[in-house]
Amino acid sequence: MTDAIFPSLELQDLLRCAEDAARAAGSHAFEQRHRRKEVVRATAHDVKLRLDLECQAIAENVIRSRFANHSIFGEESGGKADANAAVLWIIDPIDGTVNFHHGLPLWCCSVAALSGGKPIVGVVFAPELQECYTACRGGKALCNGKPISVSETRRIQDAIVATGIDRKTRDLSESTRFLKNLAIRVQRPRIMGSAALDICNVASGRADGYYESGIYLWDAAAGSVIVDRAGGRSEILWRGDDLQIAFLATNGHIHDELRQVVLSTQ
Ligand code: LIP
């Protein structure tokens, strides 16, 4: 499928740029992982690392060097994203920061390009897993260059569903109620600590669904293209005015049922 605004040639340029940015930033975090305890700011349930800031700057520089007139917004940017930009790049320099900070390998760098508010290119690079997920509108979802696809799981009772706890308390009780409802219905719920990787796990068929409330667009934008192009379904179920979202991604088969579990929890 080609696109009137972004012919496939240009989409490939955006995709290459997203991959180079994610690989450059992720590799920096990996090479400098001995500095994972360098904290700029800590709150009760979160940390801001010096490497978060460095990795965002690295990803931004890669993008700026090729697309000087595009808008860029990242987890570390502050202020507001330019929603009207023809192309808006969204970066999460280290998704799964707390995992990274503790030395757990489940973290990644996530880079997406949006057009008209919709993600059209997504790359998720997980250096310690040596996995790089890529996809663009109209193309195939790949992991390390090989096509991936969502699982065939059709019944929610056979599903692994990943989630997370909304630490910024849009409604913490909603997250815990959802976890309880989920545990009753699925084979196993999982909390693994990186939204972008959770979504890629759905895309590659390792998990069957993912839902989390209170994450941000930068956690899910790249993953949403990847899971959609892997044959799955994704949607934003709630949107705040500061890019905070509630996000659902599935293999498609369990989508409506899992959405029902979410809605029955609210
Ligand atoms: C984190 C996620 C994690 C989620 C947290 C947070 P960060 O991103 O990916 O899975 O539960 O709410 O958003 O802060 O490490 O980039």
Token reading at 15: 């995709």
pLDDT beyond 90 at 44: no
| Signed CA dihedral, 59, 104, 211, 123: sign only | positive
pLDDT beyond 90 at 175: no
For residue 241, name the pLDDT band (cuts at 50, 70, 90).
confident
Please tell me the distance between residue 144's alpha carbon and the centre of ligand 1 in angstroms.
23
What residue ranges line ligand 1, CB within 6 angstroms?
Answer: 75, 92, 95-97, 164, 167, 193-195, 212, 215, 219
Percent of the chain with pLDDT over 90: 80
| Cβ–Cβ under 8 Å, residues 233 and 256 | no
Secondary structure (3-state) at 176: helix
Please report the pLDDT score of residue 3 as a whole number: 56
AA identity, residue 123:
V
Which of the 8 DSSP states describes residue 119?
E
**Which ligand 1 atom sits nearest the alpha carbon of residue 216?**
13
**Bridge partners of residue 41, in order along the sequence:** 48
Please report the pLDDT score of residue 174 as a whole number: 82
Please tell me the distance between residue 219's alpha carbon and the centre of ligand 1 in angstroms.
7
pLDDT beyond 70 at 169: no
Long-range contacts of 173-178 (CB under 8 A, 24+ apart): 174/213, 174/265, 174/266, 175/212, 175/213, 175/214, 177/265, 178/211, 178/213, 178/261, 178/262, 178/265
Reported as type and span, the H/E element at residue 54 is helix 50-66
Please report the pLDDT score of residue 42 as a whole number: 84
| Cβ–Cβ under 8 Å, residues 238 and 265 | no
For residue 162, name the pLDDT band (cuts at 50, 70, 90).
very high
Q: What is the pLDDT of residues 176-207, one digit of tens each?
A: 899 999 999 999 999 999 999 999 999 999 99
d(C-alpha 176, C-alpha 126), whole Å: 28
Please tell me the distance between residue 98's alpha carbon and the centre of ligand 1 in angstroms.
8
| Cβ–Cβ under 8 Å, residues 169 and 74 | no
pLDDT beyond 80 at 54: yes
Q: What is the pLDDT of residues 73-86, one digit of tens each?
A: 998 887 888 878 89
Residue nearest to atom 16 of ligand 1 (CA): 95
Percent of the chain with pLDDT over 70: 95
| Pocket probe mutation, ligand 1, options 53, 107, 215, 247, max atoms within 8 Å of Cβ | 215
Please report the pLDDT score of residue 9 as a whole number: 61
Poorest-confidence range of 18-32, 34-48, 88-102, 143-157?
34-48
d(C-alpha 257, C-alpha 266), whole Å: 15
Token reading at 207: 């998990």
pLDDT (average), residues 239-259: 95
For residue 45, name the pLDDT band (cuts at 50, 70, 90).
confident
Q: What is the pLDDT of residues 101-156, one digit of tens each?
A: 999 999 999 999 999 999 999 999 999 999 999 999 999 999 999 999 999 999 99
For residue 1, name the pLDDT band (cuts at 50, 70, 90).
very low
For residue 170, name the pLDDT band (cuts at 50, 70, 90).
low
Please report the pLDDT score of residue 171 as a whole number: 65
Helix axes 50-66, 8-31, angle to 10 degrees: 150
Please tell me the distance between residue 7's alpha carbon and the centre of ligand 1 in angstroms.
33
**Which ligand 1 atom sits nearest the alpha carbon of residue 212?**
11
Residue nearest to atom 12 of ligand 1 (CA): 215
| Cβ–Cβ under 8 Å, residues 170 and 178 | no
CA 116 to centroid of chain Cα atoms: 19
Residue nearest to atom 13 of ligand 1 (CA): 215
**Bridge partners of residue 119, in order along the sequence:** 114
The greatest distance separating any two alpha carbons of the chain, rounded to the nearest whole angstrom, comes to 50
| Signed CA dihedral, 195, 207, 234, 13: sign only | positive
Helix axes 195-203, 217-229, angle to 10 degrees: 10
Token reading at 133: 């997920």
Higher pLDDT: 212 or 266? It is: 212
